[in-house]
A and B are shown apart, each in its own frame.
Chain A
């Protein structure tokens, strides 16, 4: 505790953020301006190559969907964006993954810092087995915050369109919420640390259709201020919410490759690749 306070004071007095990393969320980040970019990204788990030569630019304040059949490496790719794959033994990466122009796999980059600025929502709602309030406050607590914690919690819950449903049960265990509420709580938890990008790994696959629609509405709203990357195997969902879509396929050696990327409308109506068309029209996948 002492140590953390000390670190806070030291940091506040003497350390300012380097100007080239300065991003003021709402006005600064321009629509369409690339925020995340992969260049020739390849990934191995031990001897198995999971991704090959992925190059993709994620625009700011838009929703980008990654679609493709199961096992094609969608989840591996999205988990590279905030270095969650670092936790898997045998993981190795080649190529570049640029966030605001800096390679997040470069030397001297702390994965903890990357995750603080690039939030993530998982396939299955995974709230901590604690109160609603503690779930949202956790990220702020571990990252150091300025201002009232309760404000951060309320703002995040409002942004996640959950406030009205839970404002009277902030002290209740989060596991008592419905599945859809739990997932929105996980979104609120990600928003509370004010990330610049939100990654969503099949966020609706464990939810019923009504809860799914609510999350989709929420995503459209959040795209007003955040860049969102969503992995989904549900093409309708991609078509409904995404501004841009990337299509991935498994190559002969089971490594994932990106075969098409562009505005969603174009990908779904006039795909450049025959394989994309086959996949979208349901001929395989």
Chain B
């Protein structure tokens, strides 16, 4: 064995050892994120699982922690989701269809596209400030569930648009050509062939957007969703609270019993969210599997 070869072998051993060390470091980093999630879930379950019961779900909040429940918050969340979806879905999908299927390639389209990407990065509390000025005050909707939903719709709109655009882009151009070639008009091509083909992808995006809206707190604090609500909304102009607001309220109180309530509320919220996320993941996997055929 020559000296040079020996040197190479020694260095190779070192290089290989470093490579293994680095791989371990990467694995460690990856497990850190997962461990944090696991810790969080364990911590919250430990603190709150004892309080989760039908009574908890079906009671109004109370000054006595052991009698308090999330009925008002749960109904408020359902109201807000319904209204947010009814604004954000048509406008978001419409905007995506415009950008992918109609828009000419000019400066205005580029401005709109860049703007949507920027809006996706605006802090949610800024949307809250907008909602306060625009919907609560200028449009006199007061601190209603409608004002909250409109604010939330603007907040999730970029998510719906970007996800829908991706889904539309995934529809092969041959489908459009085939439809045009039998004399379909543009809207017929879009509404009868392109949108149905993009539907699973769009649906995934909508679910993810709504799960973002369900968990948001800051904008609703801004527009003045209530912290203590002993009633469920009966119309879009009623005052309201939502699950994250209720959790925030309970967490910021010093008594440990309320903290337990907060953890229980979180468990309910996370179950709702995980169900939505799982649905989105399953839908996407199905969609990808079918697209690969």
Contact = CB atoms under 8 A, between A and B. Distances in A.
Query: Do A and B touch each other in the complex, judged by CB within 8 A?
Result: yes
Range of interface residues on A (Cβ < 8 Å): 20 to 34
A190 B180 contact: no
Interface in B184-210: 184-185, 188, 192-193, 196-197
Contacts, number: 69
B178 A127 contact: yes
Contact of A126 (B177, B188, B293): B177
Given A128-B179, A138-B179, A122 B185 contact: no
B183 A115 contact: yes
A43 B199 CA distance: 37
B172 to A, nearest CB: 8
A143 B178 contact: no
Contacts of B176: 87
Interface in A125-150: 126-130, 138-139, 141-143
Contact of A142 (B104, B177, B182, B293): B182
A89 interface: yes
A60 interface: no
B181 A190 contact: yes
Contact of A112 (B174, B183, B197, B293): B183
B224 to A, nearest CB: 43
A122 B197 CA distance: 20
B175 A126 contact: yes
A117 B181 CA distance: 10
Given A142-B192, A175-B293, A190 B174 contact: no
Interface in A97-134: 112-113, 115-117, 119-120, 122, 124, 126-130
A143 B181 contact: no
A74 interface: no
A138 B182 CA distance: 8
B181 A87 contact: no
Given A113-B183, A139-B184, A142-B184, A129 B197 contact: yes
The 8 closest A-B pairs by CB, nearest first: A116-B183, A139-B182, A126-B174, A120-B181, A142-B184, A115-B183, A142-B188, A126-B178
Interface of B: 104-105, 172, 174-185, 188, 192-193, 196-197, 293
Interface of A: 82, 84, 87, 89, 112-113, 115-117, 119-120, 122, 124, 126-130, 138-139, 141-143, 175, 186, 189-190, 192-193
